Amino acid sequence: MKKLALFLAASAALLMAQGAASAQHRIKIGCTATSDCSSAMIAVDQGIFRRHGIEAEMVLIGINSNIPAALLSNSIQIGGPTSSVFLQAADGGLPIVAVAGASVMSPVTNPVVAAFVRNGLTLSKPADFVGRKVGAPGFGAYLHVLFVKWLMEGGVDPARVNFVEVSFPTMADVVRSQAVDVVLAGEPTVARMVQAGVGTVGARYVAELNRTDPIIFYAAARAWAAQNPQAVAAFRAAIREAAEIANTDDAKATQSIANFTKQQIELVRSVPRSRQQPALVANDLRWWIEVMKQQKLLQGTPNPETLILP
């Protein structure tokens, strides 16, 4: 009887310890409504974070450029900024650091980005866009930076193109009204505009650049990362496990993306999914730094070795 009591007490203590471990680290993860953070979405839905001692909550962020500020205010602990947003924030002195890789450009997903041209115009090569009004979803944003890079590689001075900011939800109406000649968009926005008959795809410019560099990676405030090394290690382990599912299991990945983005699962299934690459090294940022320096989007020259947590 005494042995049984001791066994039950030990079992209860073990269960309590396991319960405490499962909620040891509470983390809010902020991402925009894309598949770029699918590894984190899957890690939540499949219980992978919990198995690694993390109680995680996904937070929908409307505009990617808001993520660095959300990290520093501690409203989220980890976020998924684009490479360009992250580098501009770090260059501006914000103390943030990359902790793991998320999505990368690939031959499968690069073609989903397009310069979409209004009816009545035929524009396909860089020189065609000279003098045209091009709507971008934010100056210095991912789609804008890569389009400018494409223009420059085609021998066009981007100053000869008139850029204006146009949000994704308003793109179809802006193109239909001919307020702009072109908008820079990705799927499913492009497919919706094609179906609405407001224009045609002019150039798949990211596919033409043919790069495999990071799109989005997971970042944190430096102070938080320094104070929570065990949480960072657990997060990385969970993301490695979830990234494998994201890249190989269509059903689970599609469902998790639909759950987080609140998009219809048929729509999610119709769009090529971003490839997840959890490993992130300094060399992965060098091309982005070079491109952004070329476009005068950085004041200094960030050292990629210091931007990624060891």
Token reading at 295: 């476009």
Classify domain 25-105+213-307 by CATH number.
3.40.190.10
- 129 contacts 161 by C-beta, under 8 angstroms: yes
Tell me how far apart the alpha carbons of residues 33 and 236 are, in angstroms, rounded to a whole number.
Answer: 21
Compute CA distances 293 → 91, 213, 287, whole Å. Answer: 11, 16, 10
Classify domain 110-209 by CATH number.
3.40.190.10
Q: What percent of the chain has pLDDT over 70?
A: 93
Is the four-CA dihedral 46, 48, 53, 56 of positive or negative sign?
negative
Token reading at 94: 């914000």
Token reading at 163: 């850029």
- 61 contacts 79 by C-beta, under 8 angstroms: yes
Tell me how far apart the alpha carbons of residues 12 and 301 are, in angstroms, rounded to a whole number.
Answer: 55
Q: List CB contacts of 172: < 8 A, sequence separation 6 or more.
A: 189, 192, 193, 196, 198
Structure confidence at residue 307 (pLDDT): 97
pLDDT tens readout for residues 24-51? 899 999 998 889 999 999 999 999 999 9
pLDDT tens readout for residues 95-141? 999 999 999 999 999 999 999 999 999 999 999 999 999 999 888 88
Compute CA distances 145 → 140, 141, 148, 155, 189, whole Å. Answer: 6, 6, 5, 16, 19
Strand arrangement of the beta sheet that strand 78-79 belongs to: 54-60, 25-31, 78-79, 214-221, 96-104, 275-276
pLDDT tens readout for residues 163-218? 999 988 899 999 999 999 999 998 888 988 999 999 999 999 999 999 999 999 99
Amino acid at residue number 22: S
- 205 contacts 161 by C-beta, under 8 angstroms: no
Scan for tokens 């959300």, then name that residue: 70
- 275 contacts 104 by C-beta, under 8 angstroms: yes
Structure confidence at residue 23 (pLDDT): 53
Token reading at 81: 């900024």
- 262 contacts 269 by C-beta, under 8 angstroms: no
pLDDT tens readout for residues 4-22? 343 333 443 443 344 444 4
Give me the residues paired with residue 98 across strands: 219, 308
Cite the residue boundaries of each domain of the chain with CATH code 3.40.190.10.
Answer: 25-105+213-307, 110-209
Tell me how far apart the alpha carbons of residues 237 and 242 are, in angstroms, rounded to a whole number.
Answer: 9
Strand arrangement of the beta sheet that strand 162-165 belongs to: 162-165, 133-136, 182-185, 114-118, 199-203
- 99 contacts 236 by C-beta, under 8 angstroms: yes
- DSSP one-letter code for 123: -
Tell me how far apart the alpha carbons of residues 32 and 239 are, in angstroms, rounded to a whole number.
Answer: 17
